[in-house]
Structure 1
Amino acid sequence: MTSAPFPLPPDSLTNSDITELTAWRHRLHQDPELSGEERDTAARVVAMLLPTAPDRTLTELGGHGVAAIYDGAEPGPTILLRCELDALPIHETGTPPYRSNFPGKGHLCGHDGHMAILAGVARWLSRNRPARGRAVLLFQPAEETGAGAAAVIADPRFVEIAPDLSFALHNMPGVPLGTAALQDGVMNCASRGMKITLTGWTAHASLPESGRSPAPALARLLTDLTALGNALHQSDPDFARVTVTHARLGEPAFGVAPGAAELWATLRTQRDAGMAGLVDKAEAMVRDAADALGLEREITYHDIFRHCENAPEANGILRAALQAEGIETTETDLPMRASEDFGRFADHGPAAMALLGAGDRPALHNPDYDFPDELIAPGARVLIQCLRARLY
């Protein structure tokens, strides 16, 4: 059973709050920092949190993570609300007056907006301390690489904020404004980056037979790995996809037959169990292609994301919070093919994430994407409702 969230007082977040939070979001957008480099962003978060008087603030958590803790008057559960600090290594082509100051870097996934939403919750908490338990606002580093949540959880200080329930929101273009996507079960697919290195030896371009070129193996893997995917929708438990993202053969020289090749591919499945099977198939293909030509091979994995699954208890609270704010929910096109590392917090208690509709605009990670400011207020109110369901 989930308790119904209480209606919020009309002055929970003022027009002045929203104006200031919007301006703060724009400043974050101008100065994006990549995964693992979010030092200045974290410092801005700490400065923003200071007037809200958290009982404790943890910094450099799992890297540059920041966690603000607001204690209740009585014992009770710990509820963690999480957003992300990092931007993307993509050059921004949009033209807002607050566009990125750093070529090749941009807040093109909306993490600046997620931080503004959590900053709104912090302001509300400064005026409405929990009656019981604890509210934890986590500004997590390195979500885009899949390393951040794991690093935060591995930090010895995580025990100080270990949650009984965890919630998060992510903005989502294509989902209409005023609505959200939400379901019990898997919300985000599992994925990982597979880096394949093939090594033979070079030769003069006029005598390629005197060397050992990885070109035939690379050509074979370009098609065979992609063919491991299937035409199933991501809602099917057997969904699988392999996307080649980068390939390199030899050196840019006309006189040298290549002696090395590199191939990057992203493996994607609905669930972690499916990923294990896809990895086995992909590794067997690499082994066969390399062995057929007598090549050395190396496989490494990067940007590893587990699947993200909404637990019924947490999802019920989040659904009720959205309904209390008049936000309709849909399950269309869920789970997302895109991955999220928020699912790791589910190891420590029920967790749930909703996709807050961003309307008709460029897709996430597009070079002209910009978070819609009109999501700041409803996003904050939804997360506040989640807190009120258990801490008030």
Structure 2
Amino acid sequence: MSRPKSALVLQSILEAQPPRAEDLEPVLAQRLSEVMELRWDLHRHPCLSGDEQDSADRVKGWLQSRVEPTEIVDNLGETGLAVVLDSGKPGSTVLLRAELDALPMDDLAELPHRSIRPGIAHKCGHDGHTAIVSAAGLLLHQFPLPAGRAILLYQPAEETGCGARQVLADPRFAKLGANWAFGLHNVPGLPVGQIQYRVGSLCPASEGLEIKIVGAPSHASEPQKGRNPALALSQMIGNFAALPTELGGLNSTGLITPTHIQMGDKDFGISPGEAVACFTVRAETNRKLQDLVEAIRARAGLIGSSYGLQMEFSRHDPFSATVNTPEGTEVLHRAFHHLDYPTEGMEAIFPWSEDFGEFLMRVPGAFFALGAGLDCPPLHSYEYDFPDQLIAKGALALYTAAWIAATSKRV
């Protein structure tokens, strides 16, 4: 990948260079089985968003016996964890972030580390991201930063979009003084270990929009005496699909996906008078998302009024856009170049959302994708399992980014 437009915005405060991959890899290889055991332990004992205390405790116990933390902050953002490794010398404070939460779904993969908790499973790879950040912690202990500090952040509730906000709202987080933030996500469908990143928007803003349609029930033999929402609901679904193009043109990355529809009960004698429809709304920027949501509300109101129906709206699971800063992108570029890791350019943003964008609205940093394999089952599928072969590469990348950021100043 060519140098991003953010070039030459950083100046090193030291003449030294980070350890090279050939120095880091053998050390991590000797400890990789321990890291994999941590990942498998978390996979066997998954926790839902907002209930990650057990996972946080497992990670804390694992790290305490291995990296001699300078400081540990428990229950950060309610159920998160921060582990600080301080060089004791002046420099920047760099946050490396992983997620703790799993998904409300069954684990159908026939694996030795299969989830033992019915209806809860790590099907997005957060167990793997936690393993990567923890492995970076091992490297930070073995090869300490020459300046500054690193924060290993194990964030709760990423899947619901509220975890990063909870961490940022915790007064103890501000006291940690993070100056930089870096993170990653595994991506099935990309070659194993392939790295993709870009300056600017990487993941869209999104939120869930619930629309309650209120009419009036009647006997099924006399639907004209009630106000059945079926036709309005059908019209809304078809109409909403065209809104992103109407607002943003043919190149719009906006997307409106119906995710849940419920109308009446399983009954043949009543023409229902209410319905609920849920949509996930996505757009490249926070402003475009707001415009799209407002357009949905306006269009739904027009359709509803034409059928004599009332519309009630509620918003859920908000995610800000993940926008890599120029300085953070430059750090990644230097880290990947130093490690001799090839990267691929990106023509378009990823379709999924990430609440890591909340950190990037406050401090410089960047987020990157790490390929999970062309044949890896998709995220949030029953068959998915995080590929352990990504741990070493992800850990070296985050460690090196932390080293460069901690010893750099913006100019």
Give the match's secondary structure for 2:265. coil
Give the match's secondary structure for 1:103. coil
Provide the residue aligned with 2:3 in structure 1: none
Provide the residue aligned with 1:330 in structure 2: 344
Q: Given that residues 215 and 309 in structure 2 are in contact (C-alpha distance below 8 angstroms), is that contact kept between their aligned partners in structure 1?
A: yes
Q: Given that residues 28 and 135 in structure 2 are in contact (C-alpha distance below 8 angstroms), is that contact kept between their aligned partners in structure 1?
A: no
Q: CA deviation at 1:132?
A: 2.2
Q: Would the alpha carbon gap of residues 326 and 179 (structure 1) be closer, same or farther in structure 2, given more than 3 Å must change?
A: farther
Aligned partner of 1:209 among 212, 221, 224: 224
Provide the residue aligned with 1:320 in structure 2: 334
Q: CA deviation at 1:179?
A: 1.9
Q: Would the alpha carbon gap of residues 233 and 198 (structure 1) be closer, same or farther in structure 2, given more than 3 Å must change?
A: closer
* More deviation, 268-277/202-211: 202-211
Q: Given that residues 197 and 261 in structure 1 are in contact (C-alpha distance below 8 angstroms), is that contact kept between their aligned partners in structure 2?
A: yes
What letter is aligned with 2:324? N
| Correspondence list, 1:285-304, <5 A | 285-304=299-318
Paired residues, what number?
A: 391
Provide the residue aligned with 1:376 in structure 2: 391
What are the Cα deviations for residues 13-47 of structure 1, in whole angstroms up to 9, with x where unaligned? 34331011111111111111111111211111111
Aligned partner of 2:114 among 99, 106, 120: 99
Structure 1, unaligned runs of 5 or more: none
1:25 aligned onto 2:39: yes
Distance 1:348 1:42 in 2: 25
How high is the sequence identity, in percent, across the aligned residues? 38
The TM-score with structure 2 as length reference comes to 0.90
Distance 2:405 2:196 in 1: 23
What are the Cα deviations for residues 132-156 of structure 1, in whole angstroms up to 9, with x where unaligned? 2211010001111111111111111
What letter is aligned with 2:148? G
| Correspondence list, 1:176-215, <5 A | 176-215=191-230
Q: CA deviation at 1:256?
A: 1.1
Distance 1:386 1:169 in 2: 12
Provide the residue aligned with 2:180 in structure 1: 165
Q: CA deviation at 1:60?
A: 1.1
What letter is aligned with 1:332? M
Distance 1:23 1:234 in 2: 49
Q: Given that residues 234 and 270 in structure 1 are in contact (C-alpha distance below 8 angstroms), is that contact kept between their aligned partners in structure 2?
A: no
* More deviation, 372-381/9-18: 9-18
Q: Would the alpha carbon gap of residues 288 and 379 (structure 1) be closer, same or farther in structure 2, given more than 3 Å must change?
A: same
| Correspondence list, 1:339-354, <5 A | 339-354=353-368
Q: CA deviation at 1:11?
A: 6.5
Distance 2:253 2:275 in 1: 29
What are the Cα deviations for residues 104-141 of structure 1, in whole angstroms up to 9, with x where unaligned? 22111111000001111222223333332211010001
Q: CA deviation at 1:300?
A: 0.7
Aligned partner of 2:105 among 86, 90, 93: 90
What letter is aligned with 1:287? G
Aligned partner of 2:273 among 251, 259, 273: 259
Distance 1:235 1:183 in 2: 22
Distance 2:249 2:348 in 1: 7
Provide the residue aligned with 1:306 in structure 2: 320
Q: Given that residues 83 and 168 in structure 1 are in contact (C-alpha distance below 8 angstroms), is that contact kept between their aligned partners in structure 2?
A: yes
Distance 1:376 1:198 in 2: 47
Distance 1:284 1:183 in 2: 34
Give the match's secondary structure for 1:53. coil
Provide the residue aligned with 1:112 in structure 2: 127
What are the Cα deviations for residues 147-177 of structure 1, in whole angstroms up to 9, with x where unaligned? 1111111111111223211111111112212
Provide the residue aligned with 2:4 in structure 1: none
Distance 2:346 2:178 in 1: 29
Structure 2, unaligned runs of 5 or more: 1-7
Distance 1:138 1:338 in 2: 22
Q: CA deviation at 1:263?
A: 0.4
Give the match's secondary structure for 2:148. strand
Q: CA deviation at 1:357?
A: 1.3
Q: Would the alpha carbon gap of residues 11 and 341 (structure 1) be closer, same or farther in structure 2, given more than 3 Å must change?
A: closer
The TM-score with structure 1 as length reference comes to 0.94
* More deviation, 107-116/268-277: 268-277
Provide the residue aligned with 1:7 in structure 2: 20
Q: CA deviation at 1:12?
A: 6.5
